[in-house]
Structure 1
Amino acid sequence: MGADDILGADDVVIEPVTVPEWGGRVVLVRGLSGEERDAWEASIRKIRPSLSKKGEQEIVVDQTNARAKLLVKCIVRADGSRVFTDQQAPALGRKNGKALDRLYDVATRLSGLSDDEEQVIEGNSETTEGGDDSPSSSPETSDTPEPNS
């Protein structure tokens, strides 16, 4: 494949999800683009001074409203345009947790987020530490089982 083939490929995947908590309505969820995924990941990673190693920094995941921050980027209309702005994440985060989890599971799958990344978001992983600003270190996961969907 050439550059034109790749750039011209229609690779957007949208999946309908029925949400019983919202009257059985169908919500359309699409996967993130690479650019959107990078922005979302950056929005939930924070660099702070290490609590255990003086003079070093550590990267931590800010779980505050992480699901809603992802979903505002992934919930779309039939034409693929976003329903929410990034600024509406706090309001979306106040909706039913079970409904958000259902949509989040679809959004992470369609966006190619790995199980390791999901466990970090859900708090089932150790803090990532590093001596620089790079968020590229891979966190270790714990043995905590993931609940069934």
Structure 2
Amino acid sequence: MALSRDAILGAVDVQTEKVPVKEWGDDVIVRGLTGEELDAYQASIRQLRPRLDGKGMEPVMIHDNMRAKLLVKCLVDEAGERLFTDKDVAALGAKNGKVLDRLYDVAAALSGLSEEEQEEMEGNSDPAESAGSTSSSPDESSTAP
């Protein structure tokens, strides 16, 4: 039997993972994004600009504080409430880059950002190759909230 509308909408499918951060002295809870939040995040780090050859537009990634932009949306307390607002991006971005990178990887995986998309965001691939990629990542190490 197929799932009903109510069963789908009632499913608790946003996952969390507790991550030890020795640099900060304890664990943090990372929550994956909802579909709406993921779309907003992706829109916030992408822009279209005119191509250098003058033939149309091309997508470009905005790398400024992209890790902190994701993490302010994904770091939550025990009740699942966000620890930060979007206004905290710069303050969180000033924290240890190694820690932010480690937490970003967890948040990206829980949120369904594909490996190709993460590489593009980190500047390791050609944006044209993965601009339309929306496949999800495995979530084998996460736990339900």
Other structure's SS at 2:103 match:
helix
Q: Does 2:47 match 1:46?
A: yes
* 2:5 maps to amino acid: A
- CA deviation profile, 1:25-81 (whole Å, cap 9, x unmatched): 110001000000000000000111112x21411110011110000000000011101
> Is residue 50–residue 57 contact of structure 1 (8 Å, CA) maintained in 2?
yes
Identity %: 56
- Structure 1 counterpart of 2:103: 103
Paired amino acid for 2:7: D
1:15 maps to 2:17: yes
Aligned partners of 1:28 and 1:78 also within 8 Å:
yes
How far residue 137 of structure 1 moved from its aligned partner, in angstroms, is 3.6
Deviation of 1:136 after TM superposition, in Å, equals 5.7
CA deviations on 1:68-102 (whole Å, 9 max, x unpaired) are 00000000011101000011111101100111111
Q: What are structure 1's unaligned runs of at least 5 residues?
A: 130-134, 139-149
Residue matched to 2:143: none
* Structure 2 runs not aligned, ≥5 long: 134-145
Query: Which fold has the larger relative contact order, with Cα–Cα distance below 8 Å and residues 6 or more apart in sequence?
Result: 2
Q: Structure 1-normalised TM-score?
A: 0.83
TM-score, structure 2 as length reference:
0.85
- Give the letter for the 2:45 counterpart: I
Q: CA RMSD in A?
A: 1.6
Please name the residue that 1:83 is paired with: 83
Which whole-Å deviations, capped at 9, do the CAs of 1:125-148 have from their partners, x for residues lacking one? 12339xxxxx9645xxxxxxxxxx
Q: Distance in 2 between matches of 1:9 and 1:79?
A: 18
The number of residues matched between the two structures is 131
Rounded Cα–Cα distance in structure 2 between residues aligned with 1:136 and 1:109: 18
Q: Distance in 2 between the 1:128 and 1:68 partners?
A: 24
1:29 aligned residue: 30
